[in-house]
Structure 1
């Protein structure tokens, strides 16, 4: 797939993925040739350039911050920190105050080696938090990080706005129908294998192409199930069935995934590869590396950044946009 390449300044070339100030002049075509962006196939060029639809009322002309709220006892970075309803609601308020534009609430850890959580338990963790936030008048869009249709259905009924499915509709056959019926945004994430075994020697011949093709198949399946294409986002799934080199290769090639013409969501915050590269063993010590990777993703046109450290990422993005001249 073609890979947009960066110009010297923000005024040259074609717009990239509808992001303010981001443009590209050249691309690598399907035959591996370096070509002028204007010479790409018109349909492909339109997908690479076009503004993306709003997400939960948010214009996607700049990176939007999705604050992570894990209401679990065993998530890799903050497991147990917000496992009670009171702690979760307090944390949600804090994330909004720090600048989170979407809250992503999850009740099942999908860290490497995590065990499956009964659906009833996941619902009991997530749905009361959604309900309490809405009852408290918090209007920030809420995404629910779940693979389970029953959890999605119940959370949407309580005021959630979006579903973030790390299985890309591959876990629960009823999920597509729930999303289609509710007509809400859905993030399709790539993962190789299930959480219990996904990090046991993952293998790819060409990780960029294989992740692309897998996501293309899931997009097709979602549309065939009645989900509108303009409700979809894609996430290449950094750390989900990928080793260090797979993750780094995907991060270098993020513009490939703009060829879908869909918003790109990136979730890299505090992940193990950041600790491997930086020497930060504890997940909570990986904030600086997480911010660095978030800035890289933003420079490559990522529309949504899923992060633990909202305040720090927001500050870094503001400085980055100011220096690069890409303010919306």
Structure 2
């Protein structure tokens, strides 16, 4: 496909082009089996924007995020950050890159060293990169804790003394310490109580405005993705099957899988919720060790025909800045509000 990675953002901060991450797997006595966790993913994110990446557990979302940051080196493909292919970075170049890109993981407790005070946790990035000392360092750490909405006395406590939402605020403070430009948010609110999730999402939005942050926001919760994202990518079994502006994805899903995901999102109006059609997918997510031929979704798709079993669908722009990989995208009903 032509310039598939930049279809939504002509001047992007991050460009992911045909990214693949395969793992060797032992299946019985065979040693040559390959798990195609991420299999040709492409997208771009504009500066100060958020791309929401959604899909079922096991579809490759988190692996994509880690491969984008070079935490788990990609099998092939390219990731461009500010025009440079960071998949080739090693040593000092990669270490310096860590000032510009960060990640926030799902579990805020395991992300923090339980033996370190919050002050020490937040000072660590500055010490590693030899930034600030003495009073300047203290002032910077106090500024960080205030930015995420925690009192200064939190600095002298340990992670176990905080709730899940408070711990995630500490993780966020550490992530923004060096003023990065790009942050991968890997299910950052899914481990939190529902009452706390909205507070953390609002914190992400406020910090994005204040610091001009760019996010790759990975989640299985479409309501949260709708709240925070500018663009949405829908992932299935290692591939992105639909990509577009948030409004286009939510108002007119083109892929049968996207439509099924949308039908499971609760609506605020009881009458509308009762009368809406819920799409129940048959079967389970196939194994990435042995993905189906042709369209990977055909084993569960209500629109599947013989062609879907044989031929992998082309990636095409059906509407303006709305891309999909489906032979029969035009046959998907409209009107998911």
Bigger Rg over Cα: 2
TM-score of the two chains, using structure 2 as the length reference: 0.31
Which has more strand, going by share of residues? 2
Structure having the higher helix fraction is 1
